[in-house]
Amino acid sequence: MYTQAGQFSKETTHDVLVVGLSKNGHLDSGAATVNTLINGQLDELKKQGLLSTDKGELRSFFTFGQANTPTILTLGLGSKDELTTEDIRELAGKIGKKAKADRVTNLAISLDAFTNDSLSSQEIAFLFGEGLALSTYEVVDYKEKSNKPDKQLESITFYSESADQLVEAATEGRAYATGANYTRTLVNTPANLLTPTDLAGEAEKLADKYGFKLEVLEEEDMKRLGMGALLAVTAGSDQPAKLIVLTYQGTDKWENAIGLVGKGITFDAGGISLKPAAGMHEMKMDMGGAGAVLGAMESIGQLKPDVNVVAVIPSAENMINGSALKPGDVVRAMTGKTIEIRNTDAEGRLILADAVAYARQLGVDYLVDVATLTGAVVVALGDYTTGAITNNDAWMKKVTEASEVVGEWIWQLPSHKPYKKMLATSNVADLNNAPGRAGGSITAGLFIGEFVEDTPWVHLDIAGTAWQDKATANGPAGATGAMARTLTRLVVSHT
């Protein structure tokens, strides 16, 4: 898909060549070559004000036979020296969207225009591989299709004087994006088409594709193991729960293993503590944590890092029938701790309690759980930033560093003792699953922390970041794929 070349020439054939224009007026060597080939048209169009150097502004014009590539697309870079990784990712997204709209299959990019003292050509290639793939993702719909043939980017050439391995870097960036896009597809899928059984089927596909070890626990297995919290949630549904385990062993010896745990509620009606009807159709996205974990495993399968990973996904529906969990019920988790149910819509923490305990039993040394857990995190942080709780500052730092590399913001919430005491406010059980609105995201995360013991652990609440109502440069409205790339980076950088 990717090719690296030194100089664009008149004989080179692409559908479109992208040239970056910065406010300093200086043309990089690639743009200068293009300008010469087309008899100074770039300079002339700039003088006439027909080309913009404002960041993100796109302009296109034809070469009219002066080069075999018929179209030049200029992209304003603003002040080139101030470009950041997030800027490049967004600029790549703008190019990707434009290429998709114009049905471009063969794209070329004059890459050196985007580099500065902070960003190498190799980093730029990674960001283009990532950004182009993220931006061209399409939400699968079920409308009647037209007969118009589908066209996608098939070939991307980077023109650069750099000796860096640009193809390898772009391929790695695309692997990150592929995982995030897989997450998006899972989260966007209607709940009738993605039950817990279907989610286990997706895990099986990954296992077959990449050679992962797969284990799927059925409800009888959960009863045997004493997973009363997970079984309590699934009691209200006709769909059987699944506990999905994918194992990737990247080293000869099983050690230093990371456990990735993702909440897999494929539809959340709230149970007897029923959610409002308005917006309930979006509750197909309550398996966003499971989607992020499976998306990360897709990327890990492609990248094959020298790291050991266990992915654990508790999956169920939170529905209502005559056997459904009721407020006031007391259930016993796998660890033996008892839980009083004050709110059946606080179900994610219940299934995660048994899942993190099982992950520990499998021998992981570090834990990250990802969940669309609380509405409170949306109130606190909006849909831009993921909330986090931890029991280990060093592990939290590694997770945060991974998130910063891929541009997914995380904010650590406090976990002081008074919050933990709020969990012990039941008169009949060890824990209260919903001690009140105050500090709701914190107490929800700390509830899960009650089951990780001393294993270094980070909880990521993506209730706000897993879904967006408006399109961005790097994707359409709907599922965002939040945390799939962060988890991938965390695993790849783990030593």
Three state DSSP letters for 225-271: HCCHHHHHHHCCCCCCCEEEEEEEECCCCCCCCEEEEECEEEEECCC
The residue behind tokens 């909006």 is 382
Q: Using an 8 Å Cβ cutoff, are 436 and 56 in contact?
A: no
Q: Which helix (H) or strand (E) holds 356?
A: helix 348-361
Report the chain's C-alpha Rg in angstroms: 25
DSSP 51-65: S--STT-EEEEE-TT
Whole-number Å distance between alpha carbons of 194 and 399 = 29
Annotated catalytic sites, by residue? 275, 349
Whole-number Å distance between alpha carbons of 283 and 271 = 12
Whole-number Å distance between alpha carbons of 494 and 140 = 34
Whole-number Å distance between alpha carbons of 319 and 309 = 32
Q: Which helix (H) or strand (E) holds 388?
A: strand 386-390
- Residue 349 neighbours by CB under 8 Å, 6+ apart: 371, 373, 433, 444, 447, 448
Structure tokens at 44: 């002339």
Burial 361-379 (b: 16+ CB within 10 A, else e): eeebebbbbbbbbbebbbe
